[in-house]
Amino acid sequence: MSLFLLLSILLGGLYPAIVTLLAQTFFPGPANGSIIKVDGKIAGSRLIGQNFSDPKYFWGRPSYTAGFPYNASSSGASNLNPANPALIEAVRKRAAFLREHDPGNALPIPVDLVTGSASGLDPHISPAAALYQVPRVARARGKSEGEVSELVKRFTEPRFLGVLGEERVNVLLLNLALDGKI
């Protein structure tokens, strides 16, 4: 019984308190959800994707979360095997949707625009996926493709420590910049 109480105090109280104190001291942004505020109002999080569907915005990866896209309380992938006919059909439909909304774009569609991430909440797309969307976004906003491409380059985040992971573009930050809010 005394071991149970000791472990409860250590692991149920002291350890979480120390971890919380360290996180709030050294990493306050991530510890509080990496919230992005615009004009004092919450616009979203750097860590959770949002469902953009207007042609004047960049679109993120498909989200397969239950209930609605990018539902943080229902994180999860489709769990479909690459050979599963349902996944193949979903990819075909997403590709057709992209072609329908940008019929003049003959570039190959980047894979991250037709497949979901493991969490279903990915806030990032590849630079290739962002550049693929430049003609549609530029046309919808009445801007030059060069101007929109420069914005994509400006919001392309490098590999972690220059070697880990891939370059990526945070869709929410890019869209906020398009609107002139950041």
pLDDT tens for the chain, residues 1 to 182: 799 999 999 999 999 999 999 999 999 988 888 888 888 898 888 988 899 999 999 999 988 877 778 887 778 766 778 888 988 998 999 999 999 999 989 999 999 999 988 788 889 999 999 999 999 999 999 999 999 999 999 999 999 998 899 999 999 999 999 998 88
Closest alpha carbon to 106 in 126, 135, 137: 135
CA 58 – CA 92 distance, rounded (Å) = 20
**pLDDT of 86:** 87
Model pLDDT, residue 128: 97
Among candidate residues 70, 72, 65, 109, the one with its CA nearest the CA of residue 91:
109
Model pTM score: 0.83
Tell me, what's the pLDDT at 137? 97
Q: How far apart are CA 36 and CA 109, in angstroms?
A: 29
- The distance between the two most distant Cα atoms of the chain, rounded to a whole number of Å, is 72
Say what the pLDDT of residue 78 is: 67
pLDDT of residue 87: 86
Residue 165 contacts residue 159 (beta carbons within 8 Å): yes
Where helices occur in the chain by DSSP H, the ranges are 2-9, 15-26, 28-31, 85-101, 127-141, 145-154, 171-178
Closest CA to 78 of 97, 59, 93, 99: 93
* Cα dihedral 60, 65, 71, 72 in deg (nearest 10): -100
